[in-house]
């Protein structure tokens, strides 16, 4: 009887130990984060700049054999540090299918864009959207790429998709506003920029949208509204935004016929910081007040800073005529006519580029005209677009 009791007690103890051990293993397994959770934690550490925590998580992923998650997270880290080539080499080896592969493809496309391998990036982003048309980051990438290629109808579509899929992001609305400004579609530009402001974007995006919208309102002759908008937010002093803020206020005052206030607003900024637009505005104001000598100095400074300022050349031609300076007036008129001819051709070619999204010849012509105008950055952009279109043009 005694041995039977001892035997039962031993069996009970063994059962209790088994239960305890099973519980311990269960708790241990339950506490171990999944690779997907580690990826989220790693991204948070990357966002917060916590390098030590990020390295710890990378070591966990690698030790546990989660190679694909390790490659993706490390690739994102390398990308954030500007090591594009190393990031690309890593993410190209992510072999797991599903959402992880999609994320790796998106990062691959970003790397290719940074390396100016636009054709390959385009194909990858289009592939992602074929699999999931609601993939917002693919729309973001294609919006930027098609915008740079002059495929503005496609860019407009992708930007509107981004704006719809991410209701917190004001950036696509601002880029739409800039695009509509370039196309002189002022009413649409005002609409999307106002929508961008409603999303309460962070700085400096908030200030930039304010300034863009004020410029659009001025172009639509809504001068009082522009002044009210500008009064609601002034950029920090000694910034380019602050200089532009004063310039736009001056233009609004000028539009209302308040010439003295326009000049005073411009003079708030030291003259050595003035842009060509500010010199032009001052020149126009002095001409209206019959201060022709001062107007001449301002307008000559404007065309010195920007040889493509057709309005300043036109005003100079009028003033030179008033002074009897026939040769100078003739040269100013020649410059004006030549610029108008170039601008008309640019408008025509831009419309053709929109209508012919894969035509390299149109883009080569746009590059050539911008080169003639001394706008080397735009010329380079259009040449790149022509090269991509020539290589990727559908047969």
Choose the weakest-confidence range: 7-16, 85-94, 264-273, 365-374. Answer: 7-16
Q: What is the pLDDT of residue 313?
A: 98
Tokens of 313: 């050349």
The predicted model gives 272-289 an average pLDDT of 97
In a domain, 380, yes or no: yes
Check pLDDT > 50 for residue 320.
yes
Choose the weakest-confidence range: 16-20, 99-103, 235-239. Answer: 16-20
| Structural contact between residues 365 and 391, judged by C-beta atoms closer than 8 angstroms | no
Average pLDDT, the chain: 91
Q: What is the pLDDT of residue 317?
A: 97
Q: What is the pLDDT of residue 167?
A: 95
In a domain, 186, yes or no: yes
In a domain, 134, yes or no: no
Domain boundary among 196, 228, 256: 256
Q: What is the pLDDT of residue 173?
A: 98
More confident residue, 302 or 237: 302
Residue labelled with tokens 């990858």: 124
Q: What is the pLDDT of residue 391?
A: 83
The predicted model gives 322-340 an average pLDDT of 97
Q: Write the burial class of residue 146 (CB in 10 Å: 0-12 exposed, 13-18 middle, 19+ buried).
A: buried
Tokens of 106: 């998106």
In a domain, 143, yes or no: no
Q: DSSP string spanning 233-246?
A: --PPTTSHHHHHHH
Kindly report, residue by residue over 93-127, the tens digit of the pLDDT: 998 888 899 999 999 999 999 998 888 999 999 99
Total tally of structural domains belonging to the chain: 2
| pLDDT confidence bin for 79, thresholds 50/70/90 | very high
In a domain, 295, yes or no: no
In a domain, 231, yes or no: yes
Domain boundary among 226, 256, 286: 256
Residues 372 and 275: their CA atoms lie apart, in Å, by: 21
In a domain, 199, yes or no: yes
The predicted model gives 41-59 an average pLDDT of 94
- The domain spanning residue 229 has which CATH number? 1.25.40.10
Q: What is the pLDDT of residue 14?
A: 53
Check pLDDT > 80 for residue 28.
no
Percent of the chain exceeding pLDDT 70 equals 91
Residue 178 belongs to domain spanning: 167-256
| pLDDT confidence bin for 393, thresholds 50/70/90 | low
Domain boundary among 256, 288, 307: 256
Residues 6 and 3: their CA atoms lie apart, in Å, by: 5
Q: What is the pLDDT of residue 27?
A: 43
In a domain, 317, yes or no: no
Q: What is the pLDDT of residue 24?
A: 44
The count of residues in the chain is: 395
Residues 83 and 114: their CA atoms lie apart, in Å, by: 11
Kindly report, residue by residue over 161-194, the tens digit of the pLDDT: 999 999 999 999 999 999 999 999 999 999 999 9
């Amino acid at each position: 009887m005694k041995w039977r009791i001892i035997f039962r007690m031993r069996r009970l103890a063994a059962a209790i130990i088994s239960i305890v051990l099973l519980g311990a293993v269960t708790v241990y397994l339950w506490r171990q984060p999944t690779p997907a959770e580690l990826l989220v934690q790693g991204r948070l550490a990357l966002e917060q700049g916590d390098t030590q925590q990020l390295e710890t998580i990378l070591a966990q992923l690698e030790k546990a054999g989660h190679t694909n998650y390790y490659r993706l997270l490390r690739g994102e880290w390398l990308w954030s540090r500007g090591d594009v080539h190393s990031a690309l080499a890593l993410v190209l080896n992510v072999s797991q299918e599903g959402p992880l592969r999609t994320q790796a493809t998106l990062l691959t496309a970003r790397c290719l864009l940074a390396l100016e391998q636009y054709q390959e990036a385009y194909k990858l982003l289009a592939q992602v959207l074929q699999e999931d048309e609601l993939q917002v980051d693919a729309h973001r990438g294609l919006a930027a790429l098609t915008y740079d290629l002059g495929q503005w109808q496609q860019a407009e579509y992708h930007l509107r998709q981004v704006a719809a899929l991410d209701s917190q992001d004001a950036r696509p609305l601002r880029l739409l506003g800039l695009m509509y400004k370039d196309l002189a579609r002022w009413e649409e530009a005002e609409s999307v920029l106002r929508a961008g402001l409603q999303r309460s974007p962070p700085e400096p995006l908030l200030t930039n949208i304010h300034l863009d919208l004020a410029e659009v309102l001025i172009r639509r002759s809504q001068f009082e509204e522009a002044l009210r908008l500008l009064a609601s937010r002034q950029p920090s002093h000694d910034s380019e935004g602050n200089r532009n803020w004063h310039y736009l206020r001056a233009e609004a005052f000028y539009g209302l016929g308040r010439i003295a206030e326009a000049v005073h607003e411009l003079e708030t900024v030291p003259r050595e910081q003035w842009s060509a637009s500010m010199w032009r505005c001052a020149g126009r104001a002095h001409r209206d007040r019959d201060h022709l000598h001062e107007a001449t100095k301002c307008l000559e400074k404007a065309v010195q800073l920007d040889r493509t300022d057709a309005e300043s050349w036109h005003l100079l031609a009028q003033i030179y005529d008033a002074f009897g300076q026939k040769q100078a007036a003739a040269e100013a008129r020649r410059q004006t006519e030549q610029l108008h001819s170039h601008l008309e051709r640019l408008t025509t070619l831009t419309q053709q580029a929109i209508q012919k999204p894969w035509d390299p010849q149109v883009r080569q012509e746009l590059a050539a005209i911008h080169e003639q105008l001394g706008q080397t950055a735009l010329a380079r952009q259009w040449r790149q677009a022509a090269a991509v279109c020539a290589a990727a043009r559908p047969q």
